[in-house]
Chain A
Amino acid sequence: AQSVTQLGSHVSVSEGALVLLRCNYSSSVPPYLFWYVQYPNQGLQLLLKYTTGATLVKGINGFEAEFKKSETSFHLTKPSAHMSDAAEYFCAVSPSGGYQKVTFGIGTKLQVIP
């Protein structure tokens, strides 16, 4: 079975600093990986998705993630944090690449300090 592990349930960064949210995956087959964001009292929104091809994936709101097979990682980064980035972020994996059977990590809450 596929799974993802998010390292750090809470991450704090200063406004303007680098955002790095860590995710490692476990899969016996090539994984399809996702990052989602959830703002308070809202549903989830897809940030980006990796399927095949280019290992650096660019998403919305200036976020990007790099698929590293050798490290089984799919970390999410943003060069400069903004106050509006404060939210909970979920890494996820799908066996087929589709959205119907996505398995989520436990989430990382990002706090941005002014």
Chain B
Amino acid sequence: NAGVMQNPRHLVRRRGQEARLRCSPMKGHSHVYWYRQLPEEGLKFMVYLQKENIIDESGMPKERFSAEFPKEGPSILRIQQVVRGDSAAYFCASSPLRTSGKVVGEQFFGPGTRLTVL
């Protein structure tokens, strides 16, 4: 049973380019979360998605960032017109479909994508 997959593992972009980060959740998981770790900081929640729906995007920057989790294929975190301050490690996590009223199960993390903006 493969774990959460993220690609690429390392991504270098010049200022103004677009960055696309992909996350394939564990098999059977329908909840995906994106977190960002800026240099010298902890993990910060960005967005929570289910298939074809954004459930909570309270941690997403207002501009240039978007996320999707289509019916088929991986979840994508897209950063348009990257700036140096976007350089960070971006982690994706997934969890299985909740069976009760609360989503309290553990989240399984991918290895992360390290984005460097030159």
Please indicate whether A and B come from the same complex rather than being unrelated chains: no
Which residues of A line the B interface, CB within 8 A? none
Which residues of B line the A interface, CB within 8 A? none
